[in-house]
Amino acid sequence: MNPLINRQEIIQYIPQRTPIIMVDEVLTYEEAEITTNFEIREENLFILNGRMTESGLIENIAQTAAAKAGYTCHLKQVPVPLGFIGAVSKVQVHGLPPLGSCIETQVTIKNDVMGVTIVSGRSELDGELLIECEMKIIIQQD
């Protein structure tokens, strides 16, 4: 599958910069959902004992949500607002991906009211669930 957004283009859609970029490509995009992938590399800041940490998986989900917001704004031709994680809940970690693996992450918008977006996120490795959680993302208003 050809990505909608490739690794060279991703920084146009997310506020993060090297060395903290945790999304390589946008694979699918719909009004309420986005799917990305990310290769676990040695230079990643969230590596411990050859595996990505739980906090790295959560950051990957947050950046997938940011990529969705960025791509939505791009399609609407409006500036991308800053967003901040307000809360993370219902976290269930099932596994930690090893170096060299490529995870696929899906974020679904559950609710979006008055600058507060609630999303559910999940990451998988080869079809096996690694993590699932919900996030409350606060969008900075002008």
Looking at residues 128-136, what average pLDDT do you find? 98
pTM: 0.95
| pLDDT value of position 142 | 62
The answer for residues whose C-beta is within 8 angstroms of residue 121's C-beta and 6 or more apart is: 61, 62, 64, 65, 105, 106, 107, 108, 131, 132, 133, 134, 135
User: Mean pLDDT over residues 91-95, rounded?
Assistant: 98
Domain ranges of the chain: 10-139
Contact by Cβ (8 Å): 44, 111: no
Q: Which fold has domain 10-139?
A: Thiol Ester Dehydrase; Chain A (3.10.129)
Is 141 a residue whose pLDDT tops 80?
no
The radius of gyration computed from the CA coordinates of the chain, to the nearest angstrom, equals: 14
Q: What single DSSP character describes residue 81?
A: P
